[in-house]
Amino acid sequence: MANTEPATVTNKQIIFPDYVSGFPKESDLKVTTTTIDLRLPERSKSVLVKNLYLSCDPYMRICMGEPEPLSSSLFPPYNTGEPIVGLGVSKVIDSRHPDYKKGDLLWGIVGWEEYSVITLSPYSHFKIHYTDVPLSYYTGLLGMPGMTAYAGFYEICSPKKGETVFVSAASGAVGQLVGQFAKLMGCYVIGSAGSKEKVDLLKTTFGFDDAFNYKEESDLNAALKRYFPEGIDIYFENVGGKMLDAVLINMKLNGRIAVCGMISQYNLVDPDGVYNLVTILYKRIKVQGFAVSDFYDKYSKFLDFVLPYVREGKITYIEDITEGLESGPSALLGLFHGKNVGKQLFVVARE
């Protein structure tokens, strides 16, 4: 039977025109339409995918800035005039790679567009084997954010039952999981977030012992002392700035800090200073930044750990989903104003 699929189709894209300083605006991203051939050249080793779900993540703001030697090794800057790149869940349309065939599902690095041609490299993409859970979870709970929470909490912080844990940006894609992992360990967990709705979510849905709205606290040091009178064993750092400064003087002896992100600093031309660094010495605090890509070799171990909890309903995951490729820019920029509740992503196509 002849192939009835059209050889060429339109391909809507979100283009990155130029580097950004300060808070990005929707006008910093452009929607355009081009065409793409749905059949790969015979000698290609690439995979052509149809993108289903695309992920909005805070690190993407770093990639929007002028190329800078310090950050570029971990977060390569976007190429101007090309689609921005992020993580997504996709379906294989055509493949010249032996590991993938038409109809396979995968998650990994793709362009913000309807169709992408991807070149595979180690840990750049992962085949999806479990479809008894929502596919969108592979942008969050079962993808990069879930792996980030797992690596940062278990591998970096080495938690013990009964320890005190503080999570900032606790209702986000990563924070909501760190808190639940900590509760599964038998830890005492407090989270901070930026609205009453998010604070209530932490306490009623994610099972945190308590939570507070950092915007309502004029003195973060006093707030932390209120919730941690004996100090903090583990801090999962997502925000940086004034919160980090207050946490440092509330850490316990031999406390551990996993530095996952610093979203409060990404849009600042002049970053906030941190003044209590000497407490790292006095209290023998371990502070470690990490990249989730360093831990992708443990991805199958992570799935073995987390999937039973998901299936048993012992882990809850909240997503904030918008519809259509055109909704991507506003969804992404909303992250930097705290508009999202849970993991932010958008649907490009359902199948």
Q: What are φ and ψ of residue 325, in 5° steps? A: -60, -35
Torsion of CA 248, 253, 259, 262, to 10 degrees: -10
In DSSP terms, 237 is beta-bridged to 259
39-98 pLDDT, tens per residue?
A: 999 888 999 999 999 999 989 998 998 888 877 778 889 999 999 999 999 999 999 999
What are the tens digits of pLDDT across the range 164-218? 999 999 999 999 999 999 999 999 999 999 999 999 999 999 999 999 999 999 9
Does position 2 have pLDDT exceeding 80, yes or no?
no
Q: What is the pLDDT of residues 225-268, one digit of tens each?
A: 999 999 999 999 998 889 999 999 999 999 999 999 887 777 77
Long-range pairs, 308-316, Cβ under 8 A, ≥24: 309/184, 310/133, 310/137, 310/141, 310/142, 311/132, 311/133, 314/184, 315/141, 315/177, 315/180, 316/176, 316/180, 316/205, 316/206
Q: What percent of the chain has pLDDT over 90?
A: 80
Computed on alpha carbons and rounded to an integer, the radius of gyration of the chain in Å comes to: 21
Query: Do 49 and 93 contact (CB within 8 A), yes or no?
Result: yes
Distance of CA 257 to the CA centre of its chain: 18
DSSP code of 97?
S
Work out the pLDDT band at 4, boundaries 50, 70, 90: low
pLDDT value of position 5: 60
Joined together, the tokens standing for residue 74 give: 């971990």
